[in-house]
Structure 1
Amino acid sequence: MRTHRLSMPLCLKASSTLAIVIATMAMPAVAQTQVSLYGLLDVSAERISGDGFSLSRVSSSNLSTSRLGLRADEDLGGGLKVRATLETAVAADTGANSGGNSRFFDRHAHVALIGSWGELRLGRTDTPLGLAADMAGTQAFDDLTIVGARGATRYRRTDNSITYLLPTVITGLSGQVQYSLGSSGFGGSGLSDNRVTGDEATGGKTWGFNLVYAAGPFQAGLGYLKARDENIAVAGDQGANATMVLASYDFGPVKITAYANDETNTSVISGADHLRTLGAKLAVPVGQDLLLTAGASRTRGTTDARGDEDRVTIFSLKGVYTLSRRTSLYGWLVSVDNEDAANKGVIAPGAGQSGRGLAFGVRHLF
């Protein structure tokens, strides 16, 4: 009887120990998978005016693109991790999806493998050229967007891409290479004049790379993209090349940024045959919470006229006041001066007309 009475607790103890071991082994697998919801809302009141026209409205995404995203990370062990990202732009003034009817997750829809060797992405994501252009600014009031630079508009992101992000070999140096099997370009508004319509059946392939170096107060970036048949409305070679170069230095009391964008296409059917933008920005902190930035740029080649009459000059002044780590207030003034043949602006005016834009808004991250 004594033996029987002692054997039962021992069996129970062994069973309990086994259950604890199994539960302990299972816990890391659960803990290794993390799903996060994130987003940003940017909404402003703005007034757009020019020669003979004016418009007042509430707008979205003037300082940063309003967005909603889902990210899932899983640690596979051995230094390898998988990450899935779905991200859509949101029109904060109406609540609508900004990708139009053609897509929902217009900003990101990709899966990535990440290791010490770098990161490999498959799906829709940023283009190397778009990331380089974003260092100078790619929002609605930014000059690269106003003049229609490819890195700020049609190729800010791309579909059907294979993207490799290089590992950190030299401190401060990062880069990536990308090949798209069927680029659909930027889906921003979903309008046919704001995206590249290339697809797998008719071409639309792109490849590109970028390099970014940051060391202390100095930063420099280079982005390149080569597109094939970007305008599938006409058969044949509709190729394009685009290069973005930027450098900045933070002196403390002032930060100076200079940039150049140069792009050509092999057919004038899809727009300008040689678009060139030179620009500079001067950022001055006022106290700890306010940053003022003045910018100026000059663009030529905005039409097929191939002369000085298609030049555009843009001046801007922006102020961002930080209320907290997640919330900022901002004001932005932009002035666009078109030569006789040019018609660029936040809202496109008539040829040769000037335009202005003024916005006051709030941005909140979550």
Structure 2
Amino acid sequence: MKHKILAIAIVSALPLVAQAQTSVTMYGLIDASIGVENNDAPGESSRTVVSSGTQSASRLGFRGTEDLGNGLKALFNIEAAIAADTGATNSRMFDRRAVVGLQGAFGTVTVGREYGPIAAVASASDTLGQGFYGSNLASFGTNRLTRRLDNSVNYQSNALNGFTLRAAYGAGERNETDLQDTGDITGVALEYANAGFYVGAGYQNREDLPSGDSKEYGVGLGYKFGNFELRGGYLAADPEFANGIDNKYEQMNAGVSYGFGASRVYLNYQQQEQELGDAEGKAVTLAYTYTLSKRTNVYASYAKLRNNGTGVFTLAGSGNAIALPATAFGADPQVYNIGVRHSF
């Protein structure tokens, strides 16, 4: 009788054990600001804007893990961008990340829409945390670097003596009748982090036939000592065109931040160059954040970009960019804003 009671108790407890081994979390971040933009283009003037995602892109996501035993875990993460100023969402629902995978002693493997290896290097080497106007996110966009990979298989090693390896393959999903690969992306990155020091390098190749392949690469450095943080990096997109035209894009950034009490001040310099037309743009960003709680902070920022006579670069942030007419060569956009950010 005692054995029967024990067996019933064990069977009854199994769902509770399974529940304890499974974790699903809903999370999010809302960032909204009010500011003034001036694109300095002919016939244009300043405008007051309410924006979403000035310091960090607003988002809503779900993530979870399941313990499969023997150190093996299943995981998933789906994350959608949202616009705090209008309540709108992107045309694709989970545009930021949508993956499922396995994690264990071998590292982590994910399948779906994932950040490319070079994105990790860019993020770790940006003083602004890829937020505010003038961050190195200006490097990611049409005909430049690829930040997220669709239809991808991704690998990240566990840290070994400070080293982490990342590798990815994104299928262009070409037709079987195609004579050559089109749209496939392969990438790799190697990072080292120890005692506040960071160095990383990444490379991606995007097959853009019939025009040619695009080579994307970058390096980044970072060092934290006391209340200071120094970060800087170099990113480049080098497309190959069938007509032999070279239109290499390069972006360099260097910055410092200093924290005191609940405050942190950021100063960042960014330079963008485009081979075609010898276009060049230089930007400076000054930002300030004040932490109200573990999940909430307020901020203020100012950014100014100067283009040369053939430059038409703009100031871009984590969720925004100042719109410049394609013909506004030499325009010098600037923006300043104040906002609040809350995570949950």
Give the TM-score of the pair, scaled to structure 1: 0.82
Residue in structure 2 matched with residue 115 of structure 1 by the alignment: 104
Q: Which structure 2 segments of 5+ residues have no match?
A: 176-180, 315-320
For residues 143 and 214 of structure 2, the distance between their equivalents in structure 1, rounded to whole angstroms, comes to 15
SS of residue paired to 1:53: coil
Displacement of 1:253: 4.9
Residue in structure 2 matched with residue 165 of structure 1 by the alignment: 156
For residues 140 and 246 of structure 2, the distance between their equivalents in structure 1, rounded to whole angstroms, comes to 10
Q: Does residue 144 of the first structure (1) align with residue 117 of the second (2)?
A: no
Instruction: Please show how residues 326-337 of structure 1 align to structure 2 within 5 Å.
Output: 326-337=295-306
Residue in structure 2 matched with residue 55 of structure 1 by the alignment: 47
For residues 303 and 144 of structure 2, the distance between their equivalents in structure 1, rounded to whole angstroms, comes to 18
Q: Does residue 127 of the first structure (1) align with residue 116 of the second (2)?
A: yes
* 8 Å Cα contact 2:145/2:216 also seen in 1: no
Encode CA deviations 1:268-311: one digit per residue, 9 max, x unaligned: 89x971112222102122x221111111122211x621x2xx11
SS of residue paired to 2:10: helix
Distance 1:54-1:268 versus aligned 2 partners, 3 A rule: farther
Residue in structure 1 matched with residue 171 of structure 2 by the alignment: 181
Instruction: Please show how residues 229-308 of structure 1 align to structure 2 within 5 Å.
Output: 229=208, 236-267=210-241, 273-285=247-259, 287-301=260-274, 304-305=276-277, 307=278
Residue in structure 2 matched with residue 365 of structure 1 by the alignment: 343
Q: Does residue 104 of the first structure (1) align with residue 83 of the second (2)?
A: no
* 8 Å Cα contact 1:130/1:151 also seen in 2: no
Displacement of 1:237: 3.6
Encode CA deviations 1:70-96: one digit per residue, 9 max, x unaligned: 112111111111001111111111111
Displacement of 1:145: 3.1
Displacement of 1:126: 0.8
SS of residue paired to 2:130: coil
Distance 1:272-1:139 versus aligned 2 partners, 3 A rule: farther
For residues 49 and 242 of structure 2, the distance between their equivalents in structure 1, rounded to whole angstroms, comes to 35
Displacement of 1:351: 1.0
Q: Which structure 1 segments of 5+ residues have no match?
A: 1-9, 183-198, 230-234
* 8 Å Cα contact 2:39/2:46 also seen in 1: yes
Displacement of 1:262: 2.1
Displacement of 1:217: 2.4
Distance 1:152-1:175 versus aligned 2 partners, 3 A rule: farther
Displacement of 1:167: 1.8
* 8 Å Cα contact 1:72/1:83 also seen in 2: yes
User: Percent identity over the alignment?
Assistant: 28
For residues 151 and 278 of structure 1, the distance between their equivalents in structure 2, rounded to whole angstroms, comes to 18
Larger radius of gyration: 1
Which of 17, 22, 30 aligns to 1:41? It is 30
For residues 44 and 107 of structure 1, the distance between their equivalents in structure 2, rounded to whole angstroms, comes to 21
Alignment length (residue pairs): 323
Residue in structure 2 matched with residue 206 of structure 1 by the alignment: 185
SS of residue paired to 2:46: strand
* 8 Å Cα contact 2:50/2:85 also seen in 1: yes
Give the TM-score of the pair, scaled to structure 2: 0.87
Distance 1:272-1:360 versus aligned 2 partners, 3 A rule: farther
Distance 1:253-1:123 versus aligned 2 partners, 3 A rule: closer
* 8 Å Cα contact 1:300/1:311 also seen in 2: yes
* 8 Å Cα contact 1:133/1:151 also seen in 2: no
Residue in structure 1 matched with residue 207 of structure 2 by the alignment: 228
Encode CA deviations 1:294-340: one digit per residue, 9 max, x unaligned: 11122211x621x2xx1101111011111111111111111010111
* 8 Å Cα contact 1:334/1:357 also seen in 2: yes
Displacement of 1:254: 3.0
Residue in structure 2 matched with residue 347 of structure 1 by the alignment: 322
